[in-house]
Structure 1
Amino acid sequence: MISMESEKMNYQQLSNFLKSRSTFNHASSEDVIKHFQGKYKTVPYKNEQMFVFNNQRPFGHSSHLIQLHKRKMSKIPYHTYHFIVVTYVYEGQITMLIEGKTITLTKGDLIILDKFVPHSVQPTSKNDLGINIILDNKFFEDTVIKTSEDSSLPSFMIELMSHQYKHNHFLLFSTDKLPIVRNSIQNILCEDLDKSTFSNTIIDNYIMIIFMVLIRLKPIETNFINSDPQTQKIISEVNNYVNKYYQEGELNKLCQQINYSPSHISRVIHQNTGKTFKELINIRRMEKAKLLLQDKSLTVHEVAEKVGIYNMTNFYKRFKLFTGKMPKEYRDKLK
């Protein structure tokens, strides 16, 4: 961490840091592979071994990690994350192999890699610098994005924001002509390199600004295929209802709001998520309960009622199935 005695890091200081030797890699490809072999399991993929990164990341009390993809970085072999990764090309270019396809990102390009997307990264030169933003699975737990725009990102955002969807997509955007994205990246770096009070919260908000800007754009490349507009609208409405009314969670009320029959809505939900409406409601309740348990002023009984469950035996059973721990055990682990 860079210490600043009087004020936060500014853009000039950030520029100086990003040109310094600290942004250069010194590990060889052999060193990288040896490091991976000591930490991660491998599976066969496209005639080579792919590293499966585990879900143990030092997020601490934040919901993000900010990392540099350094200058003169050695080749990073095929790997997958358990987390969403956003990569922004700050300078130069970065070439990735995503599911066997070569994709070259240039300055200002930004790619969103959903969980479990196989990808590798080719070596970079001294002129190439990337910023990786790794998002904890809890990042979107309290986020609701409402939009009626005809864009592929809202549907993709629904997947990103929900634990219940299949995750295996990527979207590539060109943002070089959007100062708000680059400024947000710069502000994220300034806060991360020179942390102080509320830095993590400020970074989270800049990340959300970037996502909101991307909603207005069309990706220049993606493997994400939109469903038909009617299905997209239904899924969006379901997502909004689940986030807003999870305490009551009544399918009939949702159907009345959007003028479709319960059987039709149930079929669309299952076809697109593999789950029932009740399961979506339960997932949202348990996600919210995990968040509320961080507030030590609330009893477990109060947490259960706040998520719409009034039978404590039922709440304990659901929470244990969802997290593998009883509420008190889960809360104690947070200490």
Structure 2
Amino acid sequence: MNHDQLDNYLHSLTEREKFYELNPCFRSSVYEFMPKTVLENGQEVFVFVDVIGEKDNIMIYKHTRFAEVPLHIHSDIELNFVYSGQCTQIINDKQVTLKQGEVCILDTRVPHAILATTSQDVIVNILIRKSYFSSSFLSKIANGGILSHFLANAISEHQNHNRYIIFHSENNASVLILIKQLLCEFYDRAIGSFEMINSYMQLIFYELLRVFEYDTNRPEALTSPRVSTIDILKYIEQHFMECTLTSTAEHFNFNPNYLSSLIKKTTGQTFKNLIQSEKFNYASFLLANTNRPIYDIAETTGFNNLTFFYKKFNNRFKLTPQQYRERHSFERTHDEL
């Protein structure tokens, strides 16, 4: 399938869409058997469960035009992409209209409804298992560093976004091309499609991270328009062993208090937590790839209190340093064989 064939496929009216065009007020009988739940505010919502196949991590489908979708929640993370036209939703009791090229990602259990669309409004829905998103997927972005945690928080945990986030990607040609490639691969499977789909998903989220970064760090939000949160996080990843809040602020010509607030606002983490996270990532690398004593690794990564190092390491990885070394040393040996 090429892009022209994809365009024809998505714009062609399905039999269901033809029916709903003639019967706009009709509600499918499927809702009679669908489970419901009551939210904390007393609202009753439908629960969309088991949409993704047992052996799959991603499901992609075209939204049925002309049909309203009542208030509901998902057990999976949902990504909406406006392929053409627009899409108006009610999310957390707020009306949100997405334009062509924009993306909205909703965390699990975010109540939302979709208002009726027209023949020009083509919406692509991508459902992603949270387990896939938070483990095998995110572990490949930014090597599990603070940038990947930033992406995870921005999309699925960051309270400032009320558990959903809109990416103003309408002017980003790369997002459109990558999503088209993803759809072509999904709808027309061939050898290596599974790997291709995973790769396109990673590239899409890299681009969305760039869009998110630009949108939340416009010139009026920062002292210098050339400095972004991504620049700051990359600097911390590269200098975590020696940088301090003061030295980092001086590097970017910021006031330390301002930098501290900016990091907290955009990542949900404190500067201290980010530094500690990077140190534990480095410690885990040394444990898995060297035979250096654990006390030496602790000191090398800045933890002079061995008891504190053991406690915090176990909290982060759910393994003691020795258990982590044994497990990952085995995996490395097994891969080499």
| TM-score category, normalised to shorter length | 0.5 to 0.7
Aligned: 1:120 with 2:108: no
Equivalent pairs counted in the alignment come to: 297
SS in 1 for 2:125: strand
Distance in 2 between residues matched to 1:121 and 1:17, nearest whole Å = 22
Per-residue CA deviation, residues 226-265 of structure 1 (Å, 9 max, x unaligned), is: 9842399585554333333345554354244234565664
Render the CA deviation track for 1:194-220: whole Å, top value 9, x for unaligned: 26434122442244346546767x79x
Corresponding residue for residue 243 of structure 1: 237
User: Relative to 1, partners in 2 of residues 1:171 and 1:281: Cα closer, same or farther, differing over 3 Å?
Assistant: same
Q: Which residue of 2 aligns with 1:111?
A: 103
Q: Distance in 1 between matches of 2:278 and 2:32?
A: 39
Q: 1:321 deviation in Å?
A: 1.9
What residue in structure 2 maps to residue 131 of structure 1?
A: 124
> How many Å separate the matches in 2 of 1:185 and 1:283?
32
Corresponding residue for residue 43 of structure 1? 39
Kindly provide the amino acid, as one letter, of the partner of residue 270 in structure 2.
Answer: T
User: Which residue identity is paired with 1:204?
Assistant: Q
After superposition, residues 159-308 of structure 1 pair within 5 angstroms as 160=154, 166-168=160-162, 170-171=165-166, 173=168, 175=170, 180-193=174-187, 194=189, 196-197=191-192, 198-199=195-196, 200-209=198-207, 212=210, 228-230=221-223, 233=227, 238-246=232-240, 248=242, 250-260=244-254, 265-266=259-260, 269=263, 275-284=269-278, 298=289, 308=301
Pick which of 87-96 and 312-321 moved more: 312-321
- CA contact 1:164–1:280 (8 Å) conserved in 2: no
Closer, same or farther in 2 for the Cα pair 1:316/1:52, shift >3 Å? farther
- Where does the alignment leave 5 or more consecutive residues of structure 1 unmatched? 1-8, 145-155
* Counterpart residue number, 1:4: none
Q: Which residue matches 1:151?
A: none
- Please list the CA deviations of residues 282-333 of structure 1 after superposition, one character each: whole Å capped at 9, or x if unmatched: 345567888x69xx9747979996994777765543243235555758969x
- Correspondence for 1:10: 2
Going from structure 1 to structure 2, the CA distance change for 1:259 and 1:77 (only over 3 Å counts) comes to: same
- Relative to structure 1, the CA distance from residue 93 to residue 258 in structure 2 (aligned partners, 3 Å threshold; closer, same or farther) is closer
Identity %: 22
- Which structure 2 residue ranges, 5 or more long, are not aligned? 21-25, 144-149
Measured in 1, the distance between the counterparts of 2:234 and 2:113 equals: 35
TM-aligned CA deviation for residue 189 of structure 1: 0.9
Structure 1 counterpart of 2:6, one-letter code: L
Contact kept? 2:48, 2:72, Cα under 8 Å: no
Please state whether the residue corresponding to 1:282 is helix, strand or coil. Answer: helix
Instruction: Give the TM-score normalised by the residue count of structure 1.
Output: 0.59
Higher relative contact order (CA 8 A, sep 6+): 1
Q: What root-mean-square deviation, in Å, do the aligned CA atoms of Structure 1 and Structure 2 show?
A: 5.6
Q: Select the structure that is richer in helix.
A: 2
Checking the alignment, whether the CA contact within 8 Å between 1:159 and 1:167 is kept in structure 2 is: no
SS across alignment from 2:223: helix
CA contact (8 A) 1:114 1:167 kept: no
1:129 is displaced (CA, Å) by 3.4
Contact 2:105 2:165 in 1 (8 A): yes
| AA at the equivalent of 1:14 | L
Map of 2:146 onto structure 1: none
